[in-house]
Structure 1
Amino acid sequence: MELSDLVNQTTIFRRKVNHVASQKKDRLAKTVGKVFDTASLKVRLTVGIAAVAALGLGSLAAWTSAKMQHILVSTHKENMDYIAGRFPMDVEIYSEMIPLETGAQRAIDSLSTKDQLIWIENTTGKITARSTALNKAEIGNILLAVKNVPSIPTVQDLNGSYWLMCATPLKVKDVNLGTLYLAHNITENQVMFRHLIRSLTVATIIAIAAMTMIIALYIDRSMQPLKKVSQLTATISADKLDQAHLNLEQAPTEVKELAQTVDQMLVRLSEAWEHQRELLSNVSHELRTPLTIVSGYIQSILRRGDNLSEMQKEALTIAASEADRTVQLLQDLLDLARADSGRIQFQSEKVVLNDLIQEVAGMAQQYSKRTITVNSSAPEIAIKADSHRLKQVLLNLIDNAVKYSDAQTPITIELDKHNNQAVIQVCDRGVGIPLQQQGRIFERFFRVDESRNRAGGTGLGLSIVKTLTEGMGGNITVRSQLNQGSTFTINFSLL
């Protein structure tokens, strides 16, 4: 093998690897896009229902938290209101035998506990009486430094400890003693409440996540009938419209109605497709005969046209060529119409490919004036096929190679057998086919590039090749590289 051939094969292999990797990446992107497709009905329903559920659970959790907070402090508030209302009377009782300031201190001592602290601030801002615990700096400095204490008991966060505080004017025996301050330590209750709120928040988030998953699974299961409709309709081809049927007995009523509508549409499409095929077949058949007669008359005139001028001969030659081209187009359409309707007939028999390919190569070389080389690795390779149709396939492939390659380059036909398969390859060194268009090359009326088609074609030749090859039990593939040429490979089972 020459170095240049090795480099070319390495380049082709690298491009194929890159193409496969690109396809896998595209498939992964499509899969991720399907899962997180914001335009998907499943995603919209899941997000919508989950959002409503989250809003409901969140609102319930917030209301529960507020209610628990209210219950937590309401008892302490009632107690503080009771103390604030009773305190002046206690001071008045104690001050019957002692001064008011001393009576106020006695009342504070009797009402104070380790969590309930009381102090009095006179009109000048001086503390005149207070609970014994306020003499401790760590508590007293914190509580006594609080300013603008409200008259309604309110929770205050003081360096990590929580106190319910309120202030009320203190007047005893028509004497203004200043302001009475009450502080109740609810740190333990508040910490317990905060832990409870965190647990409630975590439970709410878990509940929302679980509910979202359950909703997503339920919606996905509910959407299965629609997915089935999509999958079935995606696999329906034009030639199987009459066999297509959607059976969704267990689906919801709306989906059943959709399936019935699709079924009716498929029936109408099948009828329209059948009418179209019949029309195509009839028109092709009816036009082929008169055009063949016209072509025959023109050829007869040209053979006997010694008295024709050069301009007349040129005009008649062009007319004959176009008539032959149109007849061939009609024949191709007729063959495809017969294949679509299943009326094309194959006369299968034993065919020795070595002899048939030599015959075809000789015929093609005669009308194309091109060098056609046949290489075979075995003296006799036999298959079961329709010899007439197989000749048509090979002639179409050779004609395609002639159209898309220079006249100076040879056309090669390789015949080999591999893994119990007969392998026929038609190779040219022409313009090649872009990689992204090689998958469509066998479609009807598809042409890679009009500017590359020097001979003019209908785009039906390769479609007929594929139809006839598969009708005889074979398959055909193409491998091509731009400006390097194309290789069409046909495989048949050996006899």
Structure 2
Amino acid sequence: MATSPHWRDHLLGSLTGQLQLATYLAVFLGFSGASIGGLWLTQRNQAISRDTELRANARSLETHLLADRLLEKPATESATARQRRKQAIREELRWHSTMRHTLWIEEPDGELLLPADARLPGKKAVAEAVNGSLNKPGITQSLSVNGLDYIAVLNRVYPSGQRVWSSAEVTNINRAQSAFLNWMIVIWGSCLLLSLWIVNGLVRRIIRPLRQLTNASAQLTADTLNTSALTIEGAPLEVTQLANTYNDLRARLAKSWADQRRFVSAVSHELRTPLTIVQGYLHRTIKRGDNLSEGQRKGLRTAEEESVRMRHLLDDLLDLSRSDSGQLRVNSEPVAMGIALHEAVDLARSSLERDVLLELPQPSHDQQAVVAMADPDRLRQVLLDLIENAHKYSPSATPVTVRLRQEDAMAVVEVEDQGIGIPADDLAKVFDRFHRAANARVSSGSGLGLSIVQLLVEAMGGAVSVRSQLDQGSTFTVRLPLSNDGAAVTARNVTE
């Protein structure tokens, strides 16, 4: 399925985008509606004003023409009388017409009686343009003559057949309306952009406390529970309440986590002594129990192995608890890595039924030249845990290889097996607490060994990594910083 564009995810997939989109639409529709409504009302009022003025002039003209009986055409009328009547009508039209407004009479025979004023140019062209185009009074018509804009209206049709027309030039008015429309568009666009800018700032200000809450939650760890109180100033009431709820939850988590660490530390510490005693009694019983049957010996050995495993698990839990509380102590000192690896491999060979190969730099005396800063006891614990982990997930016929080399300013130790390997999806989580790979379910284990390894290596200033392929094995690599006192340590170890 195709992914959505980034802008769509921003607008529809986040609270910021949704608020911005909603306010943008509201502002746009509000400004557009107000502008269009105002423009429509302005144009409507101007049209009504023009029509009212035209009709008012026409009514005034009709009043005077009717008073002088100029709109009553006699049954019989001489040519001279007709000319006098038409001249009187033209004079009356002149008095009621202006440079912008013009009135005229259309005779039944189609003759146009225009104002008797030479200062009213172009009016005949307008009258001729609308002559005969309208038959229903009261309808306003727009037209353009000689590059000028006009409106014309047929005011009334008398029984005598005479028609009273009026017109007005609206060129300047139309131009003013166009200019007004252009300015309206400019003002509308400017106000819209300004409003959107203000809205965008307000939305960001509203969302800022939520972003602070999100960042604080993302950075929250067990070590920062006591120091990650969130303070928000100037936020809306709902966001302030949410921040207070977050702080209350953080305080409860901090208390619960502290209680848990104290409990684990106390239980681990208290159980180590009785387990050590039980292990000692079991070991002595096996050594001195000459009258024990083979089945009884096997049962006692199993109990001893489980007590040892339980004591190791308690040691791991105690180390984790000390690390979480900041009480884990690692005493780094120069350590000859070749000798340390020899000791760890010898211990592993004595406790594991497997070949453990050791590869050191050649010639042999160079092994003592690789001197790293480490805690000897913690380093031995790391090496034994890695060898035991390799032993646990490897076929019995394959060896575990431990090799040492120097790389730049680091001492590099690799523990390689030919076991089941680690799935690619689990590689990033292999050092997480209590995590076990999907293909490791058949083996026993707590899921703490590798997390303890990482904890101790990093406490000694080093780093641990892994590379692996399914069904081909895994290689764990430990890097520790070299010591500047390597020569002195080498001489001392050789003397010993």
TM-score (norm 1): 0.76
Q: Which residue of 2 aligns with 1:19?
A: none
Question: What letter corresponds to residue 157 of structure 2 in structure 1?
Answer: L
Match of 1:376 among 357, 361, 367: 361
Q: Which residue of 2 aligns with 1:452?
A: 440
Matches within 5 A, 1:9-408: 35-36=10-11, 38-40=13-15, 42-89=16-63, 91-92=65-66, 93=68, 94=70, 97-98=81-82, 102=86, 106=90, 110=94, 127=110, 129=112, 143=130, 151=138, 154=140, 156=142, 163-171=150-158, 175-177=159-161, 179-221=163-205, 223-248=207-232, 259-299=243-283, 304=289, 308=293, 310=295, 317-366=301-350, 367-376=352-361, 378-379=366-367, 380-408=369-397
Secondary structure at the aligned position of 1:360 is classed as helix
Question: What letter corresponds to residue 86 of structure 1 in structure 2?
Answer: S
Residues 102/403 of structure 1: CA separation in 2 closer, same or farther (3 Å cut)? farther
Secondary structure at the aligned position of 1:243 is classed as coil
Cα distance in 2 for partners of 1:306, 1:108 equals 151
Cα distance in 1 for partners of 2:110, 2:27 equals 54
How far does residue 462 in structure 1 lie from its aligned partner after superposition?
A: 0.8
How many residues are treated as equivalent by the alignment? 457
Question: What letter corresponds to residue 419 of structure 1 in structure 2?
Answer: D
How far does residue 426 in structure 1 lie from its aligned partner after superposition?
A: 2.4
Cα distance in 1 for partners of 2:323, 2:88 equals 114
Q: Which residue of 1 aligns with 2:454?
A: 466
Residues 31/83 of structure 1: CA separation in 2 closer, same or farther (3 Å cut)? closer
Cα distance in 2 for partners of 1:336, 1:127 equals 112
Question: What letter corresponds to residue 268 of structure 2 in structure 1?
Answer: S
Question: What letter corresponds to residue 355 of structure 2 in structure 1?
Answer: R
Cα distance in 2 for partners of 1:186, 1:151 equals 18
Residues 143/489 of structure 1: CA separation in 2 closer, same or farther (3 Å cut)? farther
Question: What letter corresponds to residue 448 of structure 2 in structure 1?
Answer: L
Cα distance in 2 for partners of 1:326, 1:148 equals 112
Residues 265/157 of structure 1: CA separation in 2 closer, same or farther (3 Å cut)? farther
Checking the alignment, whether the CA contact within 8 Å between 1:91 and 1:100 is kept in structure 2 is: no
Residues 113/319 of structure 1: CA separation in 2 closer, same or farther (3 Å cut)? same
How far does residue 212 in structure 1 lie from its aligned partner after superposition?
A: 1.1
Residues 147/330 of structure 1: CA separation in 2 closer, same or farther (3 Å cut)? farther
Question: What letter corresponds to residue 447 of structure 1 in structure 2?
Answer: R
How far does residue 264 in structure 1 lie from its aligned partner after superposition?
A: 4.0
Checking the alignment, whether the CA contact within 8 Å between 1:108 and 1:130 is kept in structure 2 is: no
TM-score (norm 2): 0.76
Cα distance in 2 for partners of 1:144, 1:436 equals 90
Secondary structure at the aligned position of 1:177 is classed as coil
Residues 357/453 of structure 1: CA separation in 2 closer, same or farther (3 Å cut)? farther
Cα distance in 2 for partners of 1:458, 1:382 equals 33
Checking the alignment, whether the CA contact within 8 Å between 1:155 and 1:164 is kept in structure 2 is: yes
RMSD: 4.0
Checking the alignment, whether the CA contact within 8 Å between 1:281 and 1:333 is kept in structure 2 is: yes
Residues 400/101 of structure 1: CA separation in 2 closer, same or farther (3 Å cut)? farther
Cα distance in 2 for partners of 1:232, 1:30 equals 28
> Are 1:412 and 2:406 counterparts?
no
Question: What letter corresponds to residue 167 of structure 1 in structure 2?
Answer: L
Aligned-pair identity in percent equals 29
Kindly name which structure, 1 or 2, has the bigger radius of gyration based on alpha carbons.
2
Contiguous gaps of at least 5 residues in structure 1: 1-25
Question: What letter corresponds to residue 214 of structure 1 in structure 2?
Answer: I
Residues 422/33 of structure 1: CA separation in 2 closer, same or farther (3 Å cut)? farther
Checking the alignment, whether the CA contact within 8 Å between 1:429 and 1:486 is kept in structure 2 is: yes
Contiguous gaps of at least 5 residues in structure 2: 73-80, 115-120, 484-496
Secondary structure at the aligned position of 1:98 is classed as helix
Question: What letter corresponds to residue 385 of structure 1 in structure 2?
Answer: A
Secondary structure at the aligned position of 1:265 is classed as helix
Q: Which residue of 2 aligns with 1:22?
A: none
Cα distance in 1 for partners of 2:282, 2:141 equals 111
Cα distance in 1 for partners of 2:129, 2:418 equals 95
